[in-house]
Structure 1
Amino acid sequence: MATAPSQAERDAVLTLARELISRASVTPEDAGCQPLIADRLEAAGMAVESIDVEDVHNLLARHGSGSPHLMLVGHTDVVPPGPESNWASPPFEPEIRDGVLYGRGAADMKSSVAAFVLALEAFLEAHPDHPGTVSLLLTSDEEGPARHGVRAVVPELEKRGMMPDACLVGEPSSRDRLGDVIRIGRRGSIQGRLTIRGIQGHTAYADPRDNPVHRAGPLLAELGRLDFDDGDEFFPPTRLQVSNVRAGTGADNVTPGELEIWFNLRNNPNTRSDALESRIRHLIEDADPGDWALSWRVSGEPFGPASGPLPGVVETACRELLGIESKPDTGGGTSDGRFFGPLGIPVVELGPVNATIHQVDECIAVDELVLLPGLYRRIIEGMLKSGGASCASS
């Protein structure tokens, strides 16, 4: 294993992580996180610009030229903390207790963002004339609708000819300890909303056929029984989960005039979203629930498994610096990698333990936080110095 971080290195990442956590950047707010980072990266020699879209702040920092181009991807926004009285300490007043740093964003993902900055500063100081390109893309719209963040920046990168060869995303990928799991792909996410219309009426006189809940019963059961035999060695089978069933006026003597069934599909690359939509529509038609309409929104296409040198470089860094054999995985939710992976760009996610993300008393172990900058620096070095040739030809 590599040498442990010095006290100065520990203090540096802790200080920056705490400064970022203290800024209440509830999506889509940035609360000054990106200007703070921009100043540091400009001082380190990076070209920095803001690409703001609507009310969303996006930061792009870049150094070097040509291939290989490794892009670090992250976000400065966080989810709302909920009632602050439920927290052991205020969510935007970072506090260390028993070797653990608490605060909203401690794991998802201000610690990773701080580590990205420290890693870039150290890498550029040691290798000012490195081959290829290293860049950092941050957004304040990952935890929200994700319309004006990375999704909006990618077309601009394409137009400028600045798309990366590979992306390292700092999302909290680890399960029990830092580096035990790395994400090499993600399932897609599809939101479906089925509306079945009936006739509102008095329960004493209504015709059962007019009640959309009665008509939807068999169909709802069929949705729950759907089976998708499309898994492989990298991805589990596609799954459908009903998330909401809504009907009625709130009165117990009035039949509903409309029923809404909300469901989510997590699909793998073996089944396209249009094929799933066709299957669901045929299922509805066969059930004949009456007057119906289906809203279908693809919030993320599946991608992976990552190819090229990046997965191996990440696994080697985890082995050499953390003494752990990382498990490649494609589980979990979505990330901003979904805007690069489906374009054929290898994406790997590596970050803190995700056990407390979006929860009250979100936290990260200090001993793991202080390892992140060195880990990310090693990956940058592996991709730009020794991994460059294979990356450029992949």
Structure 2
Amino acid sequence: MSVRELTRDLVSIPSHQDETAAGDYVEDWLRRETDADVTRDEVGNVIARRGTGGESLALVGHHDVVDPAASQLDAGGGYVVDEREGRLYGRGAADMKGAVAAAMLAFRDADPAGELVFASFVGEEVGGVGARHAIEHGFAPDYAVVGEGSTNYSGPDVTDVAVAHRGRRGSTITARGTAAHASEPDAGENAIYLATDAVEAIRDLEAPRVTVAGEPLEGQVTVTEIDGGSGINVVPESCTLTVDERTVPGERVDLETVADLPGVEWRVDQDLPPMRCGDDRFAERVLEVARAVQSDVSNPPELVTKPHATDAGWLAQAGTECVVYGPSEPGEAHTATESVSIRVLERCLETYRRLASAET
């Protein structure tokens, strides 16, 4: 079975609301095609292991996807998969069933020097549910290649090696005042005014910036929603803001200072960690293999940074040295025209196989 065929099979399986069928396929394929120790945990993660001794390397992906567009569904509610001009189109082709297919084949075909691990997690699109569960239950490879997108970052027609990415912290800020009739505003305390003080404080915060592999990785903090008030003639007693913060390795915006303002409360709703590979030897090894596989491209792969959070953040936080290397290109994931290059899938398969094999 080719990576093209395996990707088509995986993409055709709906997995935006329930990942069970896609997990069944991955599990059954691994049991049929390999002699690995294959497990399926309580939340639906599929994890397989081959080889013993030495350092452990994991090939990591996820088989859940975001909700499909109407054009990506057939009449029966299945996923449409289309192939044209050397690309596969369909929900999950880029993010990230193509990389999962490449990792499955590489896991099967490699001759590992130590322990080789394959993991396809659930719930990546909703905060890393599967990765967090696996880590809490002992998933701790020494190294991991996470197959999220790293293609066409440094230039066209190249799959780069991402050694860092941003995280995301989502917060709610609530301002609490005292209601009063709007004809006597001084009888109350206007929560919207308190909230605007918080907005001004956030606008004055300086987002952190770090340099990784010679590239700047910049944080951001943005107020994205505001909700307050109950009527045209009522001084509002509450007002809520949502804040989207893009975090960088080792640094945070000081939102605690905003929480110190009078009448303001701060709650963290989601905190997806950033990632930075701390092992230069591992990063350079992956880059060396990537360059060998892509010796025919005009621009050789580079070490780059990535703006989006991935499960590599959870793994890195737990102590695994990670890089991101995968076929998805900027602008493909989560779109109604999502697609992936078959040639790049083959490139990723060969890179994963060489990295996982004793010969490298």
What TM-score do you get using the length of structure 1 for normalisation?
A: 0.80
Matched residue type, 1:203: A
Say yes or no: does 1:320 pair with 2:300. no
**Map of 1:50 onto structure 2:** 40
Aligned mates of 2:136, 2:74 — CA distance in 1: 43
Indicate how the Cα distance of structure 1 residues 175 and 199 shifts in structure 2: closer, same or farther if over 3 A, else same.
farther
Alignment of 1:1-394 (within 5 A): 12-27=2-17, 29-42=18-31, 43-53=33-43, 57-82=44-69, 84-85=70-71, 92-123=79-110, 127=111, 130-147=112-129, 149-157=130-138, 163-175=140-152, 177=156, 179-207=158-186, 210-228=189-207, 230-234=209-213, 235-249=216-230, 251-271=231-251, 276=253, 279-285=254-260, 287-288=261-262, 291-297=263-269, 299-323=271-295, 324-352=299-327, 353-381=329-357, 384-386=358-360
Matched residue type, 2:102: A
**Post-superposition shift, 1:106?**
0.6
Secondary structure of the structure 1 residue equivalent to 2:352:
helix
Aligned mates of 2:143, 2:174 — CA distance in 1: 41
Gaps of 5+ in 2: none
Matched residue type, 1:328: L
**Post-superposition shift, 1:222?**
2.2
**Post-superposition shift, 1:114?**
0.7
Gaps of 5+ in 1: 1-10, 387-394
Matched residue type, 2:317: P
Secondary structure of the structure 2 residue equivalent to 1:367:
helix
Q: Is the 1:179–1:351 Cα contact (8 Å) retained in structure 2?
A: no
Cα deviation, 1:64-111, whole Å, max 9, x if unaligned, reads 1122210111100000014x0588998811011333211000100000
Indicate how the Cα distance of structure 1 residues 131 and 317 shifts in structure 2: closer, same or farther if over 3 A, else same.
closer
Q: Is the 2:164–2:212 Cα contact (8 Å) retained in structure 1?
A: no
Secondary structure of the structure 2 residue equivalent to 1:309:
helix
Q: Is the 1:247–1:258 Cα contact (8 Å) retained in structure 2?
A: yes
Secondary structure of the structure 1 residue equivalent to 2:102:
helix
Indicate how the Cα distance of structure 1 residues 229 and 111 shifts in structure 2: closer, same or farther if over 3 A, else same.
closer
Q: Is the 2:277–2:283 Cα contact (8 Å) retained in structure 1?
A: no
Indicate how the Cα distance of structure 1 residues 88 and 138 shifts in structure 2: closer, same or farther if over 3 A, else same.
closer
Q: Is the 1:179–1:318 Cα contact (8 Å) retained in structure 2?
A: no
Aligned mates of 1:96, 1:47 — CA distance in 2: 34
**Post-superposition shift, 1:367?**
2.6
Aligned mates of 2:72, 2:35 — CA distance in 1: 43
Secondary structure of the structure 2 residue equivalent to 1:185:
strand
Question: How much is the aligned-residue C-alpha RMSD, in angstroms?
Answer: 2.6
Aligned mates of 2:208, 2:311 — CA distance in 1: 27
Q: Which protein is richer in strand relative to its size?
A: 2
**Post-superposition shift, 1:51?**
0.9
What TM-score do you get using the length of structure 2 for normalisation?
A: 0.87
